[in-house]
Structure formats: structure tokens, C-alpha cells
Amino acid sequence: MAKVTLPDGKTREYPDGTTVREVAESIGKRLAKDAVVGEVDGKPVDLFHKLSGDVKLRLITQQMPESLFHLRHSVAHVMAQAVLRLFPRTKLAIGPPIEDGFYYDMDPEKPFTPEDLEKIEAEMKKVVEADYPCTRADVLRTEAVERCLKEHQDYKVEMLGEWTDEKVSFYTQGDFTDLCRGPHIASTGRIPAFKLLRATGAYWRGDEKNKQLQRLYGTAWWSKEELEQYLHRVEEAKKRDHRKLGKELDLFSIHEEIGGGLVHWHPRGSMIRHVIEEEWNREHVKRGYLMVNTPHIASEEIYKISGHLENYKDLMYGAMLIEDRPFRVKPMNCPGHIMIYKTHLHSYRELPMRLAELGTVYRFEKSGVLHGMLRVRGFTIDDAHIFVTPKSVEQEIIDVFRFAVEWLAKFGFKDLAIYLSTRPEKSVGAAEDWERTQKALKHALDTAGVKYEVDEGGGAFYGPKIDVKVRDSLGREWQCSTVQFDFNLPSEKRFDLAYVGEDGNRQQPYMVHRALMGSLERFFGVLIEHYGGAFPVWLAATQATVIPIADAHIPYANEIAARLREAGFRADLDARNERTGHKIREATLLKTPYMLVVGEKEVAAKQVAVRERAGKDLGTMGIDRFEEILKEDVRKRT
């Protein structure tokens, strides 16, 4: 008999060979209907998987978010099946599910056209309507190689040559069979809603030295309503694309003549960056951080000590010789901060020591992954490195986490996804240090009363961490804040950091890497898309544009702009020889929060006619009253 333990701790007995689906049916018809796959002893399996012995069983239903992973994996196979029906000489590579969808890399005889995509989607619908059962067959790896060779599936043969499993599995649905570890949904007819999205180029295994394949993207959901909502979000995301808005709003540019992934901040974008940096500096000084600045290049020797040259060489730019000594542009700020710490032997009374820098670093990213401001080669990290005693580490982490949450809230990010990553199998540092710091991270999260997920074993080899992702106005998650312990760099093997403890002896401090935004470039790109370019008044590059109707009104308009600037607001004057309506339209397209129109009547009354960027006319008012409105907007972060 198979003894099956369910998630609620209850056990049931079934004859050996009972399938996961049959267990679901024995519990309830609704559960059986909603079940997608199962998990046996933590391993995902198909519904037709046979049970024996003592097992723990969890049923994954359509209502669970992880079920989408298995749905999309199955739809990727349906897409490949449709492609081979229409283009039988296509060679298949890999087809994984991804966030919000799936893709399949393929090598067709010629690139797919938009018309081809329409045909493929239509053929996919036929596969779904046929409701083919999805069945699994386990075979020897040598047999699998022979089969793939016979079918001229060269990429599958290459993958099999690197696998070490004695047996591998194939999945079959109708006239289609594919090499796959599974699991899959029970049949193609269980696929309710999908959409083929686009075709792009993708190098085999992401290596530009390999052949470029065709990557077909699609998405799948458990209902047509969810699919429609997703497609709406995709269209909205296109409108909010920071690359598109960055050009329209004159915020930044990237020039291939200078180099991909190297951002040029235009005056309007730089002004927003300036506002962020001012706020960042003010908040750090208030919390006892010490501001530092470190060079953009350093001797290669420092990166040998830190281990970056050994572990991150592929992300570092090549050495430059200066007086026969190799130097590198810095990929990280931490070695510089450590050297500042090491200039003195500190007492425990001086700790925590919090060194902070808006430090620009450079990392080599392949051209294929560069993406506007979201993936670049030169970027400024809002870095802080905190040197702290074991005794005070818990309170310090609570304060750091609270700082991160408060900082993100300033920009309208209050919906957060938080992850705690713990010790992996391979790690450095003493067990008691890991235990203490993991406890500190967990206590910080518990004290804050926030929901979080624990990623067991997901920490870096050098320490546990908290990652904070923000959800933007479209519900997308973006990685921002990180609180990361490091037992590697302070160690005797690396920089041998020390402080004088209460007992008068040298002791090793804990070191914490911390970033609130991640990088200014990426954070700015996220902000552009989050606000759709319509930044809140406190953050906008220009808070008010003064628009004179005629040349005779320019002197008064200039007075208004100057007064606003003296009061600390960001105002400009549009004195061009253009129609007033044209100026208003351009200021609106630049998403300027307020437009102040002045003509003969306003000059005579010493007032301004105020319009909002959304088109609302606030009427005529004195400049004092308008300053009050601006002050209130800034205070409320509206």
C-alpha cells in the first residue's frame, strides 16, 4: 500500500500504483478538476504519476500561482508542435516558461514573419481543440541520442551530450514528441487561454559566437479575462516604455558612437537625478551615515585581494597599464570603502560605521542584454557599507530595513515583495555568524510586521540577505533594495578587518552591503515607467512653466519665474515666438505639472492663470497662492 501524507498532516492509504489524479478524485471532484500537477516529496510530477511507499503529496491547483508555470511549460510544447506541423524542418532548442509567459528557441529554415505567427497561433488552437493526452516515456539516454540524431534535432543531441542522467524522458501529445523533464498538464484540451506575442533573435545558449536562433514568445492564463488583462498591461507598458518616454521627454540618451550601455543624462533627467541625490544625501546624513568618494579606477591588486578578479573577471573590463602596473575600472565600490575603514584601527565605540557613496561602477554586459537604463554598462550604485559589532547587528539591520521601506515609500512604492535568502550549501563564515545574522534579518522583517518569503539556501556564499522588490503601477516587480551580509571580505584571507573590542582585543566586525535603489539608472528607468513620465510635483524636472501670451508680457513672466526659483521651486520661462496654445501643448506633452499663462489682464492684476497638466483650469490667482499650492504638493509628495 502507498501511504500518502497530505499538506494538512492527514494520511491516506491507497494500493501501490494509484495515480496522483486518482488521489485527487478520492478527495473531491472539484479538487480533481482543478488539479494541474502534483508534488511528491517536494518534486513536481504529472497527474498520471504512480505512487508507492510512504510519500508526501501536495496537489498544485489552478488557483495557485505556481500552476501557471506548468501551464505555460505545456503551451510551449503546443507551440513547438504547431511549428513542426507548418515548418517540419525546424530544429528545436529549449522552451521554458518565464514570468508572465514562455518562449521556445528554434532554428527554422528562414526567419518567421508576422504572417507565420498568425498561422502558428491558429495551428496551436487546433492542437488544443484536439485535446491530446500528454504522456511520458522514460528511456535510456543513449536511446534518446539515437532518436534525436534520426530526427535531425541537433540542439537536443548537444544537450543530451552534457546530461549525466542514465535515463531521460520524452513527452508525447498527438503527433508531437519532445525531450523534456516535465511535468505537464494532463491534456492539451486543458489549455483555456493563450496568445503568441512575437519573434526575436536569440543566440544559442546566449553566446554571440553561436548561431542566432528564432525565439518565439507567448503567454498563457487560466481564463480569457486574465489573458485580456495581461495584454492590456502589455499595451500600457509599451506606452510607458522608459526608452520611448526618455526620448519624448528629453531625459536621457545612449550613443553608439560612444558605446552601448553608457547613459547620457540630459538637463531634464539630470535635474530629477539631482533632486533624488539631494534627498538621498539629506536622509543619510540624518541617519548617521558618513559620505565618502572613491576613484573610478584601481590597481588590479585590490581586486585580487577582494576576489573580484577571480570570481567576476568576465564582468570586468580589461586592464590598462599605468607605469607598467595594471589598473581596472571599478566593478564594485566595496574595496574602496574597506580601504577607508582600514586607515585607522577603530574602537567598538565607533561602530556601527556607515560609509555611503553614490559611486559609479562599470561592468561588461553583452550587447544583447543591454536595455535602455534598465541594463547598462556604467551605473551609479547608492552604496553603503556598514561595519558593525555582533552585539549591535540586530538593531542596525532593523534600522536599515526601516530606512529602505521609508525611502521607497517616498517614490510611491508601498506594495513590496520581500525575500529572505539563507545559507547555501557552499559558504564561508562560521556557523554561529550565519545563525546570528540570519536571525537579525528575520527579526528585522518580523519587527516591521511585513510579509516575506524565505528562500532557503538562496543566499550568496559570503552571507545571507534581504531583497526588496517594488511593484509598480502595472503590478510588475522590480528589484531595488538589498541588505547583504558579507563574511568573505572582512576575513583574514581577504582584507583582515578588525576593531578593538570591549575586552581590548582585536575582533572582526560584521560587514553589511546595502543599497536602497540598486542603481540610479535602473531606478530612474523604473520611475519613468511607474509614473508614465508624469512625475509627482516634488520630483518633476520643471514644476511650473511660465507662458507669456505676447512679447509685452515677457518681463512680468520673467519676474514670476525668477520669484519661483528664489523660493526654491523649479520654474522656467517659455518666451518663444509661438502661439500660446502651442506652448501649452508642448508643456503638457513634457508632462510639466503646472502652466502659468500671463497676458495683459494678469500683468495688470499681478496674477497668473494656472493650468494643470491634466488639462484642468485652476483659474487666476496671486503668485502667493500658487506658491502655497506648490508647497503643499511637495509636502504631500503629490
Residue 546: closest CA among 532, 530, 557 = 557
Residue 205: closest CA among 152, 260, 155 = 155
pLDDT at 148 over 80: yes
Query: What pLDDT, on a 0 to 100 scale, did the predictor assign at position 283?
Result: 97
pLDDT-above-90 percentage for the chain: 90
Q: Which residues contact 517 (CB under 8 A, 6 or more apart)?
A: 382, 407, 480, 481, 523
Distance CA 177, CA 45 (A): 18
Query: What pLDDT, on a 0 to 100 scale, did the predictor assign at position 26?
Result: 95
Q: Which residues contact 153 (CB under 8 A, 6 or more apart)?
A: 91, 92, 179
Helix (DSSP H) and strand (DSSP E) numbers for the chain: 19, 34
- Over residues 599-614, the mean pLDDT reads 96
Distance CA 366, CA 260 (A): 10
Average per-residue pLDDT for the chain: 95
Q: pLDDT tens digits, residue range 3-43?
A: 999 999 999 999 999 999 999 999 999 999 999 999 999 99
Joined together, the cell numbers standing for residue 177 give 514528441
Query: What pLDDT, on a 0 to 100 scale, did the predictor assign at position 48?
Result: 96
The band of 471, judged by pLDDT with boundaries at 50, 70 and 90, is very high
pTM, entire model: 0.85
- Over residues 540-551, the mean pLDDT reads 97
Coil, strand, or helix at residue 142?
A: helix
Cβ–Cβ under 8 Å, residues 107 and 214: yes
Sign of torsion, CA 156 161 162 164?
positive
The band of 472, judged by pLDDT with boundaries at 50, 70 and 90, is very high
pLDDT at 68 over 80: yes
Q: pLDDT tens digits, residue range 77-131?
A: 999 999 999 999 999 999 999 989 999 999 999 999 999 999 999 999 999 999 9
- Over residues 196-225, the mean pLDDT reads 93
Sign of torsion, CA 199 200 201 202?
negative
Query: What pLDDT, on a 0 to 100 scale, did the predictor assign at position 428?
Result: 85
pLDDT at 638 over 80: no
Pairing, β 378-388 against β 353-362:
antiparallel
Query: Which amino acid does the sequence have at 380?
Result: T
Query: What pLDDT, on a 0 to 100 scale, did the predictor assign at position 131?
Result: 97
Distance CA 562, CA 583 (A): 19
Buried-state track 484-502, b at ≥16 Cβ within 10 A, e below 16 = bbbbbbbbeebbebbbebe
Distance CA 240, CA 516 (A): 23
Distance CA 59, CA 23 (A): 9
Q: Which domains does the chain have, with CATH numbers?
A: 2-61 (3.10.20.30), 69-227 (3.30.980.10), 271-294+348-530 (3.30.930.10), 295-332 (no CATH), 544-636 (3.40.50.800)
- Over residues 437-460, the mean pLDDT reads 90
The band of 452, judged by pLDDT with boundaries at 50, 70 and 90, is very high
What is the distance, to the nearest Å, from the Cα of residue 72 to the centroid of all Cα atoms in its chain?
21
Distance CA 188, CA 77 (A): 10
Query: What pLDDT, on a 0 to 100 scale, did the predictor assign at position 368?
Result: 81
Q: Give 318's DSSP letter.
A: P
Q: pLDDT tens digits, residue range 252-304?
A: 999 999 999 999 999 999 999 999 999 999 999 999 999 999 999 999 999 99
The band of 310, judged by pLDDT with boundaries at 50, 70 and 90, is confident
Coil, strand, or helix at residue 291?
A: strand
Query: Any idea which residue has 501536495 for its cell?
Result: 58
The band of 429, judged by pLDDT with boundaries at 50, 70 and 90, is confident
Radius of gyration of the chain from its Cα atoms, rounded to whole angstroms? 30
Q: Give 309's DSSP letter.
A: H
The band of 209, judged by pLDDT with boundaries at 50, 70 and 90, is confident
